[in-house]
Amino acid sequence: MESQLNPSTGDYSGAMSDTLGNAVYVRLMTPLGGYWADPLMGSRLHELAREKDKSRVAQLAEQYASDALAPLLISKEALHINVEAIAPHNGRIYLHVKVQDASGRESLFKHLLQVG
């Protein structure tokens, strides 16, 4: 078990977590290639911050998040991952990430992206 990261602040909450929450959060928030110990860890989501708020950007967000989380499937930490982007076209994209862990338990993580 490890300390749980608070997705709103990026700080440790002090609570102990046995979920994939930390792994999901770190992989989505770390720019791809930005972690010295693993240059393949991270996502390209940071590239979308300057994009216009268009439908294709929501599709890119889904793809970038799925790509960033794929190593969790390869390492068998997760059995299934589903990413859905909801774009109300107000400068925000909401990513809903549903992860089924190795024990079969499902967790839903929400991630906010600012665009345009």
Residue 89 has pLDDT above 50, yes or no: yes
Q: In 3D, which of 91, 89, 79, 63 has the Cα closest to residue 20?
A: 79
Q: What is the residue range of 43's domain?
A: 2-114
The band of 84, judged by pLDDT with boundaries at 50, 70 and 90, is very high
Tally the C-alpha atoms within 13 A of residue 78's C-alpha that lie toward its C-beta. Answer: 22
User: Would you state the structure tokens that stand for residue 86, as one six-digit string?
Assistant: 């909801």
CA torsion angle for 43, 89, 6, 28 (degrees, to 10)?
-10
- DSSP secondary structure letter of residue 63: H
What is the reported pLDDT for 21? 84
The neighbouring-strand residues paired with 31 are 43
Residue in the structure block whose two tokens are 């600012």: 114
Residue 7 has pLDDT above 70, yes or no: no
Task: State the total domains in the chain.
Answer: 1
CATH number for the domain harbouring residue 77: 3.10.450.40
Indicate whether this model's pTM tops 0.85.
no
Looking at the chain, the whole-number percentage of residues with pLDDT higher than 70 is: 84
User: Would you state the structure tokens that stand for residue 97, as one six-digit string?
Assistant: 């990430």
| pLDDT per residue as tens digits for the range 13-46 | 544 354 678 889 999 999 999 999 999 999 999 9
Task: Tell me the backbone φ, ψ of residue 115, rounded to 5 degrees.
Answer: -130, 165
